[in-house]
Amino acid sequence: MRATPHPEDFIRARLSDTRSVTLVESREIRHTHSRMYERALFPLCLLTLVLIQSAASCELRPVLVQVPKRLPAGYVISESKEELSLKGCAAKPVAFTSSDPDFAVNTDGTIITVHGLEITTKRFSVLVQDENGIDWRVDIILSCKDEASQKSSSAARKRIKRRWRPLPFSLIENDRPPFPKEVEMIASDSSATYSVYYEISGQGVTLDPVGLFTLNKQTGMISVTRAVDREQYPQFNFTARVFDLNGKERDESLPITVNVDDVNDNAPEFIGSRFFTVEERCRAGTRIGKVNATDKDQPNTSHTLIKFTLLNSTNMFSIDPFTGEITAKTNTLDREAQDKVYVEIEIRDMGGAPNGLFSRGTFVITLTDVNDNPPTFKEKLYKAKVQENQENVLVTRIPVEDKDLVNTPNWKALFEVTKGNESGNFRMETDPKTNEGLLYVIKGLDFEKTPLVNLEITARNEVPLVGTDTKWLTVPLELSVGDEDEGPEFNPSILYLKVKENVPNGTVIGTYKALDPENKNSDGIKYYKMTDPGNWITVVENTGELKTANTIDRESPLVHKDMYNITIRAVDESKKTGKGMVIIQIEDVNDNIPVIPGKDLIMCSKGDTLGSVLVEAMDMDKPPYSTPLLFEFGADHDGKWKLKDATDSSVVLEQAVAMPNGLYSVPLLVKDLQGFGKEQTVNVRLCTCEREDNGGICGARSASSSLGSLGILALVLSGLLLLLLSLLLIFICSTKREKLYISDDTGTGGMLLKSNTEAPGEEVKDGALMLIPGAEVVDGSQQSGLMESKNMTSASGRYGQSFFQGGGVYNTTTQEFGTEKFYSSGRYDNNMYGNATIQKLSNTNTLDTWKTNGRYLDRKLAYLGDEEEGRYADDLLKTYGHEGMGSPAGSVGCCSLVAEQESLEFLNTLGPKFRPLADVCYTTNRTGN
């Protein structure tokens, strides 16, 4: 149950507040009616309040406070605890809430300003919550200290008539039942003159939320029908109108504002991410992240003033109570001890007051890894064993532990042999899977020298250590070297010998022996030569003596920087071997004389100016057996030349007198520093040069050389062409009188293919024919549509078969000479001769090959050579003293005619040079009808 303030104080405050806020200047002066209205209203309100007071169980009077016009932040409005102490209500206050965000109430009931402000009048309420959870409302009315005088002076100057008298009023959200509850009464000045009724419309009445407010039309009392949520509807605005009984509106509409006072009914909520990360070993005060929260209650009030509290891990982290920023509290955060920290955070409104609403949440802070732990060895001493002379073998594995994050540069180990590896015998690697150190021997160890090797192994990470004073750790390792039977060893492994070049063969230049590493002697060891590029040295098998076998030449290309290398192999009785190297340093002797490499020189003629040319010499020996060289003229010097500007290896040859262009021989004597040398002749060509670069180029040489490779090639090809032409003429002449009558008396036929060599010429349009004696000519044009097949034989063993179709014949023929058979077939058109066919047109398709024809002709010529006076005598070569007309021997012969329509008589007019060539292609026998 809510108590009501004292009626006199309330009315006095209400009237004062009404005059200061709602007085409006009226167009019509109704002073008399206004005075009567005030006198009538005061007793009525007083009676109503007395009745209400008598029904109340306790009294909560409004707090009237006069304050300055300007209020600074923190100004104490009221220090009296009795005003908000629920005096006489049999209840004890436990929480105070201000409806105005400009003011705050401490837990002891003191009202203070939150920030500076300026007022004339101010009204708000304080919600007092008792220990039973019941809310009590106390109105606070503030006025300026000089407000009364201002009002009196203002009233004296001007009279103001009131039209509507209600003030803006407010509701408390989520008010408890019963409903409806009266909120405020409205009244118009027109009610003093007319019988009126009121209507309201707008938000909360006719608009959503519809029906929240109701109105008693006759009295003007506004009531609320249900609880209101401020977070949904912080304010309502609707309109009141007044009408007389005739329905005429008697006053202007009144806009009414209803503010919903906030109560702390929403707990704060977390928003944003709940996961943060920070490096381990970070500095104290390092910012980790910010916790964000929100509250649905009225902003800028204590209802939304959130306080953040860390409930655990307070030794590791801290949180700002009002910003929610989390920071590291220490520099000893250790990921290896705890990689994720779950922290509980409470957010409470009312600035963290005990009566504030709160929420709690869990946040995860992940610690990221830094390299604060070095690799540690599992043992204090490691031992291993390896056989001597073994190379590139794994000796042992060295395990380590690292507490940092696995498979990161902070965890991966790098190993190094920091002591005992001065000779480079060892190599360390890391197993990427197990992170173990792998010790390899890369150069064989010698048991006789070092049976035990002491090493020191250091383990590091890929990145430096941070956040700790610990250093990289080391561990000792004892490596035992196992003994084994070894081959002989040369001592020293490389032997240097000095030898003069050209020493006699068989000269002993040194001895190179090997020792058995077990007994330290050379007994039973034999020596063999492995490499000797010039075969200059021999090795005595039993003693290891080195003797010269051939001439040692320092100037040989096998010698590099005066040194010559050979390798020797030593083999003991157990067939084990050892290898050594002998480096022979060859000392120079004066075995080479200076020579002039370029003896053909060109000197450019320059008119009256005497020419000169540079003569260079070289000596294969080294100083002092070579340069500086001495240049002199030989005994046959004619005095036309002189020498000047001599250097260590060159001299300038200059004309002493003017000479015509030509080739001159100049004798020069060249000696080395020891006086050894010989006379040499230099050929100097004196000429007019086209170019003087590269020693000069004479004009004639330039012209000839301008032909270049193409000119030379043209000359060579021309010579070859002439040679081939000569051979061709010889062949033609040797076969000129030979009659190639390719048949015998039995009528055996053959065929001669076209050739580009000495053919009758383009005048003969058809190819050369090889006629078969006794062949019968058949006109293919008369055989159109006829298909006939014949088998033909001859006494000489030739046989064949002919097919006739249309205007052509397809013929197959086999001829036999001795024991050889020749086969031919083809497609022939237009004509057939006798019992065989002849090739008539150039488009003949033949299956005869050149090889078959060659074999046929070879056999034919063999028959021709058997009998000079026999039946083939007409085909033999005959000698004529003169070809052509007037020859005593007469004509060689005439070409045979194939047919009258293709007579070759015109060949007789070609002259004596061509006629014998044509006669080669044709026989004197003519066949046909």
pLDDT 10s digits, 550-601? 999 998 999 999 999 999 999 988 888 999 999 999 998 988 899 999 889 9
DSSP letter, residue 110: -
In this prediction, residue 354 has a pLDDT band, given cuts at 50, 70 and 90, of: very high
Average pLDDT, the chain: 76
Average pLDDT over residues 732-760: 50
Q: What is the rounded CA–CA span in Å between residue 679 and residue 653?
A: 15
In this prediction, residue 692 has a pLDDT band, given cuts at 50, 70 and 90, of: low
Average pLDDT over residues 662-691: 89
Dump pLDDT digits (tens) for 814-844: 444 444 444 444 433 433 333 333 333 333 3
Segment among 28-32, 163-167, 646-650 with least mean pLDDT: 28-32
Segment among 22-36, 67-81, 360-374, 883-897 with least mean pLDDT: 22-36
State residue 392's pLDDT score.
Answer: 93
Q: Residue 912's beta-bridge partner residues? A: none
CA dihedral 703, 705, 710, 716 (to 10 degrees): 100
State residue 2's pLDDT score.
Answer: 37
State residue 98's pLDDT score.
Answer: 86
In this prediction, residue 400 has a pLDDT band, given cuts at 50, 70 and 90, of: very high
Give the HSE-up count for residue 16: Cα atoms under 13 Å, Cβ half-sphere.
21
Average pLDDT over residues 684-691: 84
In this prediction, residue 63 has a pLDDT band, given cuts at 50, 70 and 90, of: confident
443, 451, 456, 484 from 388: Cα distances, Å: 10, 9, 20, 7
3 state SS of 533 = coil
The count of other CB atoms within 10 Å of the CB of residue 12 is: 13
Among 36-40, 206-210, 911-915, the range of highest mean pLDDT = 206-210
- Higher pLDDT: 362 or 100? It is 362
Tokens 């250093």, residue?
Answer: 471
Dump pLDDT digits (tens) for 854-884: 776 777 776 666 544 444 445 555 555 545 4
State residue 384's pLDDT score.
Answer: 95
Q: Residue 130's beta-bridge partner residues? A: 93
Does residue 774 come out as left (phi exceeding 0), alpha (psi in the -120 to 50 range) or beta? Answer: left
> Do 197 and 215 meet the contact criterion of CB atoms below 8 Å apart?
no
Does residue 31 come out as left (phi exceeding 0), alpha (psi in the -120 to 50 range) or beta? Answer: alpha
The two three-digit tokens of residue 292, written as one number:
């964000």
User: How many angstroms separate the most distant Cα atoms in the chain?
Assistant: 187
Segment among 139-143, 365-369, 648-652 with least mean pLDDT: 139-143
